[in-house]
Amino acid sequence: MYTHVSVSIAKRQKNKGNMRPIHNCPCDACRQDPTGTTAELHHAINHVVAALDEKNRRRFVGLWASQLGHGGIQNMVLVTGLHRATIRRGCREVEKMDDVSDNRIRAPGGGRKLTEKKRRNSCPSWTN
Ligand SMILES: [Zn+2]
At 75 the pLDDT is: 97
User: How many A from CA of 40 to the centre of ligand 1?
Assistant: 8
| 8-to-11, 18, 30, 51, 52 alpha-carbon distances in Å | 5, 15, 39, 20, 21
User: How many A from CA of 70 to the centre of ligand 1?
Assistant: 17
User: How many A from CA of 95 to the centre of ligand 1?
Assistant: 25
CB 68 within 8 Å of CB 80: no
User: At CB < 8 A and 24+ separation, what contacts does 64-70 make?
Assistant: 65/90, 65/91, 66/91, 66/94, 66/95
Q: Whole-prediction pTM value?
A: 0.65
Quick: pLDDT tens for 64-75: 999 999 999 999
3 pLDDT exceeds 80?
no
User: How many A from CA of 30 to the centre of ligand 1?
Assistant: 4
User: How many A from CA of 43 to the centre of ligand 1?
Assistant: 7
User: How many A from CA of 17 to the centre of ligand 1?
Assistant: 25
At 88 the pLDDT is: 97
User: How many A from CA of 92 to the centre of ligand 1?
Assistant: 24
